[in-house]
């Protein structure tokens, strides 16, 4: 049974997707990129909600340190979607500056950019200038 915090977290995602859909129209697919531990906690509920879950494992570098692959996987997936699929919008659920190159690539292809992020403080300045629309949300409200 999910905890109240888990239900709130999942409701937050559902709420932001519905809010975005009200503004831009039908959302065909939603992909969520998660490390394995979060996929095991939220995966079943996210799947039931219609999200496509992409699990991003931690890998070891040459020095034996674990590296999180979530951002790298999201960026590679996004690049392929931009280049190979007939999409009109790129919605990114992060305000991290590391996604700047991906967003620039999407704007060069004429896509509308939507950024969904937790706060103004977590939003990179470059993404503010590139975004067509910014949504602020807290997945636990």
Rounded Cα distance between 102 and 131, Å, is 12
pLDDT digits (tens, 9 = 90+) for 28-56: 899 999 999 999 999 998 998 889 999 99
CA torsion angle for 88, 94, 97, 103 (degrees, to 10)?
0
pLDDT at position 10, please?
Answer: 74
Q: Could you give the CA distance from residue 27 to residue 130 in angstroms, rounded to a whole number?
A: 21
**pLDDT one-digit tens code per residue, 120-134:** 898 999 999 999 999
Mean residue pLDDT across the chain: 90
Q: Which residues have CB under 8 Å from 103's CB, separation 6+?
A: 90, 92, 113, 115, 126, 127, 130, 131
- In which band, very low, low, confident or very high, does the pLDDT at 4 lie, cut at 50, 70 and 90? low
pTM: predicted TM-score of the whole model, two decimal places:
0.85
* Model pLDDT, residue 68: 94
Domains (range + CATH), the chain: 4-136 (3.40.50.1010)
């Amino acid at each position: 049974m999910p905890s109240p915090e888990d239900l709130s977290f999942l409701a937050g995602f559902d709420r932001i997707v519905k809010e975005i859909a009200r503004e831009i129209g039908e959302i065909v697919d939603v992909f969520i990129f998660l490390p394995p531990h979060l996929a095991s906690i939220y995966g079943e509920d996210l799947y039931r909600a219609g999200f496509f879950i992409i699990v991003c494992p931690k890998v070891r570098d040459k020095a034996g340190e674990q590296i999180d692959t979530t951002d790298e996987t999201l960026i590679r997936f996004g690049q392929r979607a931009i280049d190979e699929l007939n999409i009109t919008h790129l919605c990114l659920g992060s305000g991290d500056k590391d996604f700047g190159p991906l967003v620039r690539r999407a704007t060069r292809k004429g896509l509308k950019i939507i950024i969904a992020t937790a706060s103004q403080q977590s939003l990179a300045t470059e993404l503010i200038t590139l975004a067509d629309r910014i949504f602020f949300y807290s997945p636990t409200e």
